[in-house]
Amino acid sequence: MPTPRLLSRNSATVAAAVLMALALPSTAQATVPASPAAVYVNTIAEQRADAQIYKHTDGYYYFTATVPEYDRIVLRRAPTIQGLATAPETTVWTRHATGTMANHVWAPEIHFIEGKWYVCFAAGNSTDPWAIRMYVLEGAGANPLTAAWTEKGQIRTQWESFSLDATTFVVKGVRYLAWAQRDPSVDNNTDLYMAKMSNPWTITGTPVRMSRPTYGWETAGYKVNEGPAVIQHGGRVFVSYSASATDSRYCLGLLSASDSADLLNPASWAKSPTPVFTSNAATSQYGPGHNQFTVSEDGKSDILVYHDRSYKDITGDPLNDPNRRTRVQKLYWNADGTPNFGIPVADGSAPVRLSSYNYPGHYIRHFDYRAKLEQDVANLADSQFRTVPGLAGSGTVSLESANFPGYYLRTRSNGEVWVDRNDGSAAFKNSAGFYQRPGLADAAGVSYESYATAGRYIRHTDFLLHTQPVSTTLERADATFYQQ
């Protein structure tokens, strides 16, 4: 737990609240969020690593991933992301018996380009399993699970060296390939490279290096930059990537560039000096990495797809441990237009954020366990809560902290709302139980009525949360929130 800091309503706190109130009149009203809550139940697929979920124009999501046997390429499809968890799986290609593409079949990705399906993947040789190279399959037919697949061959790069994790994307009408490869002249594992493509299995021009592992968090166990994944937002191109060994030290880094820049100029790319997604002991998620991005069913939210393990300690080589599994959660965006990955959330139903109806851009969060309303919450998980069956029972819900599992929003005896640990008592359960109602100021939102004290709702006053009676228009607005 963090070291407590004083949160008394001293003169500085009151002054800050007054200034904020002057800047944002309480009569302000938010519109329904453009990106509402997108809640999924993890895990999506056990023993499936390096996962990709691709939403196609036919209304289906297509899923592919590395299988622990490293011997085949599998596909699933479903009309929803959650539906992929139970969708039947089809093997569309199996490794060769000898020669190339006969070992270590890794990290397949599926794309639909100019009317055909393409799967890029990596594979080793029967005589040298570590002679990993990138290859492409082409499929004809509306449904890739039943398509006729042909091998288009190896993606040739500047070197004949260890290379993998190819992904393709388009920026301003130009198609690119990004991948990981070992520079034979450097004592290194893999860097990230990028080049234009002349067709889905051929690069053109001279590849450029986007990133090389130099930070400590990129070189733990192995010097690795791999698994690039691309998302575009607000005129910028972001490339997340995986770093370090594939155990609990595995994590995500981030590169960014303007979409109007020369993307083949290494100077166009800025690297985050710190990882953006790491292991989290509180939620029991370890080694999150090799991600991709997709979109929610309504098209309004970006979704992070990644793998991790539910335990930290691994016996032997992590690549021989089969239990990396596919998970998803909503990706949020900071006010400055950069992605906020948050933390790998606990297994089960994913958390949401609760934004204020009458203070746009302000969210319920905890700060030293006090529940309050605040904008620009950089530590995303402080403003995420999981809606779970109410500890009080009787049709109630409880709101569990995302980054402190077992801690819940609850009303203390003085009416203040805090995030406290469940002590198992009936009194605690009652104080952490709420009836989730349609929003008192907008039925598209939600309001939370206290189970313990009927007629009292969670509302914000001076940007701190209390449960209080609600009767006026202002009070109803203060007690209304949107799930995001």
pLDDT in tens, the chain (484 residues): 333 332 333 333 334 443 444 344 444 566 788 999 999 999 999 999 999 999 999 999 999 999 999 999 999 999 999 999 999 999 999 999 999 999 999 999 999 999 999 999 999 999 999 999 999 999 999 999 999 999 999 999 999 999 999 999 999 999 999 999 999 999 899 999 999 999 999 999 999 999 999 999 999 999 999 999 999 999 999 999 999 999 999 999 999 999 999 999 999 999 999 999 999 999 999 999 999 999 999 999 999 999 999 999 999 999 999 999 999 999 999 999 999 999 999 999 999 999 999 999 999 999 999 999 999 999 999 999 999 999 999 899 999 999 999 999 999 999 999 999 999 999 999 999 999 999 999 999 999 999 999 999 999 999 999 999 999 999 999 999 999 9
Amino acid, single-letter form, for residue 219:
T
Told to judge if 50 belongs to the known catalytic residues of this protein, a careful annotator would answer yes
How many angstroms separate the CA atoms of 39 and 110, rounded?
Answer: 24
Amino acid, single-letter form, for residue 343:
I
Q: Maximum distance among all alpha carbons in the chain?
A: 77
Q: 437 with 446: CB under 8 angstroms? A: yes
Told to judge if 376 belongs to the known catalytic residues of this protein, a careful annotator would answer no
Tally of CB atoms within 10 A around 150: 11
Q: Pick the catalytic residue: 50, 308, 382, 442?
A: 50
Name the 3-class secondary structure at 468: strand
Q: Pick the catalytic residue: 218, 226, 382, 400?
A: 226
